[in-house]
Every structure is written in C-alpha cells, then in structure tokens.
A and B are shown apart, each in its own frame.
Chain A
Amino acid sequence: MSSAPQVRPSIPPDVFRRTIVIIPAYNEAGNIAAIVSGIRSDYPEARVVVIDDGSSDRTREFAQRAGAVVLSHPTNLGYGVALQTGYKYALNARSCDYVVQIDGDGQHDYREIPRLLEPIVRRGADIVIGSRFIDGRPSYRIGLRRKWGIFFFRVLYRALAGNKVNDVTSGMKALRKSVVEKCIRDDFPYHYPDTNVLLLHSRNGFRIAEVPSAMRENRERKSMHGSVRRQLFYFIWMLLAIWTVRAKTKGRRHAS
C-alpha cells in the first residue's frame, strides 16, 4: 500500500463492530484480496462488503476467499449503483451505525479508516471525507485538466453550500447511518456521486468534515474520467446535477 502516515486515533472497538466497510469493485481481481485481507486483519470487528459490479474476472471469488461478504450485480451498472447497493446492505444489516466506503482499486489506504471514523465518533460529524488536498500536496500527480476540474467544483460547492470542502471528488468517505438512509432513495444521483451528492448532504443539514488522506494512483491507471470526451461529459453532467440539487433544495444553506 501507499506510504500513508500511520496515525491511528484511538477508536473504541465497539465502533468497528458497528461499522461496515463497503468496497465497489469492477474487475479488481488483482487488488481486492489484499484490501479485504488487510481490513480483516487490522480491524477484525468491522464487516467488509465487496460489491462486485458485474466483473468478468475473479473479483468475486478472491473477495469471498479473503473473507468479505460479496454482493454481485448481474451486469455492470456503474460505480454509483454499486455504492448504493452497499448502502442498502448496510441499512438492512444488524447493528450498523457507520459506513466507510473505499475504492476497490487500492487507491485508498484502508489503514486510514480510524482517522475517517474519528470525527464522526468524537466530534459529531455526519460525513467525513478523506482529502488529498489538506495537509500538504497530493501523494500522486493529478493531471492538469482534472486539477482544474476539481478546483472549479470546489469553488462552486463553496458558493452553493456555504461551507468549505477541499476534495469534493474524493471517493473515500465515512458516513453516519442517518446519511446512508438518504442515499438509498430512488432520486439518489447514482451516475457520478461526487460534488452533487456532497452539496445535497450539506444542504440537508449534515455536518461534513475532512481529514487528510494519502492516496495513490491506480496501478493500472484505470479511471472513470480518463479521456477528454469523458471528462467533458462529466463536466456538463455534473453542472446539470448540481443545478438539479440546487433547485430541489432551494434556500437551504448550512455553514457547517
């Protein structure tokens, strides 16, 4: 894994017992076993759920063998749908109060899970984001177009939400159950759940916190926003999604 700072805030073991770690994965047979085994050995009380999004490789088998509960989509439905399936599982699971979401490509360091949970447990936050942009520079090189995109949506988020979030596109998050309840609704924007979802949560009054997180580039350099065409589509789509959230939550701003 990456050279993440080994800070492990003291989280009562009871918190891990009430935590489900959800990992959306699509053709991640090369990474998934190491991630699941790592979480299972470092936090044995936490439950690990891998959402296999219609993989054509052995993701499901390796995740199961490593000790994860595996939810398999019959076909590839996308990252956001996989996340929502994980949320639905967590809401029906017995005694689950916290959900941590990390990517299945090994970009996120699972050893930072306690750091993500700490603001929820100790400081009353509802959502905690693992941020690449606080506490120094990101630990890997981010392309110029993407960097400007993140900057643009950060500024837009701040203007519309009334509070500051540095890494509006981070997929590494910890959520309180009350937030997860909102994410299983049919109107959850599951295509690209990024800035728009954060804005929705913020305008619904949830308290958002950020903690520094060292992420690394995906080994195979796979990305949902790889080509210029996709980035352009994402940009236009996200603007529309943010506008929709703004229209639905008109007049609600929370400076959390």
Chain B
Amino acid sequence: MPLKQAILLGVVFVVLFLWILRMALGNRLRESHAVLWIVVALAMPFSILLYPLLVKVSGFAGFMAPVNFSFLMAFIVLFVICLNFSALSSELERSIKNASQKIALLEEEVRRLKGRVEEAGGRDPDGPTEAERP
C-alpha cells in the first residue's frame, strides 16, 4: 500500500476511534453499539498492516484490484448492520406502541377514578368508611 494511503487510513481510523469513544463516554452511544463500530473501524488499520494478505485474498476471490474486494466487504458489513438496526427499530416500535397504549388506557382509568373520588366528596370510595377508621 502506498505510504500516503496508509497515513490517510491511519488518521481516519484514529479520528473515528476517538469520536466513537467520545460518544460512548457521553452516553450518546450504547456500549454494545460502540464496540460494534470500533470493530468496523478496525478494518482500516488491519487493511494497512495486512495489505499483502488483502491482495492475496482478493486475488483468490477473483478480484482485479484489492480495493474492489474491500468495497464489496464494506458494503456487505454495512448491509448486515442496517438490517440488524431495522430489526431493532421494529422491536422498539412495538415497545413504543405498547407503552403508548398503556398510557392511554391508564390515563382514562385515572380520569375515571378521579371522577369517583370527586363524587364521593374527596374520600377514597374504596377506602375505609368514617366508622372503620381508627
């Protein structure tokens, strides 16, 4: 790999790594997601350090240039990550739906119970009567 490219990839990796770390420490990124993105970002230093291996593997897979192989791999990895996040977002949507429905039902329950308390003159209608109170 030409030196200029290696330096560029190295700098990009360091910047990305620090950014991911900052987001994780600032609670803007869940730890599990931070680990995932660090692993993805690690592809850059690996492609610098193991460049001869990358050339061999891409040649074995029938690619004319290692960069084409790298792009395909990047596309596949990002596709899998997007699919995974879609599944996660579907799950979250279901949770939000259930929570919202619960809020709507409980709100109505509270309104009904408040009405009953007001009807009973401020007393809890299910609570003890005056005679039962100690």
List residues of A whose CB falls within 8 A of some B CB.
Answer: 51, 69-75, 77, 81, 84-85, 88-89, 92, 186, 190
Contact = CB atoms under 8 A, between A and B. Distances in A.
23 contacts: A71-B104, A71-B105, A71-B107, A72-B104, A72-B107, A73-B100, A73-B103, A73-B104, A74-B100, A74-B103, A74-B104, A77-B96, A77-B100, A81-B97, A81-B100, A81-B101, A84-B97, A85-B101, A85-B104, A88-B105, A89-B105, A186-B94, A186-B98
B108 to A, nearest CB: 5
Given A77-B100, A85-B101, 6 more contacts: A69-B108, A71-B107, A73-B103, A73-B104, A74-B103, A81-B101
Contacts, number: 36
Contacts of A81: 97, 100-101
Contacts of A73: 100-101, 103-104
Task: Kindly list the 5 A-B residue pairs having the minimum CB-CB distance in the complex, ordered from nearest.
Answer: A71-B104, A85-B101, A73-B100, A81-B97, A71-B108
B94 A88 contact: no
Name the interface size band of chain B: 10 to 19
Contacts of A186: 94, 98
A71 B100 CA distance: 10
Nearest to B112: A69
A241 B87 CA distance: 17
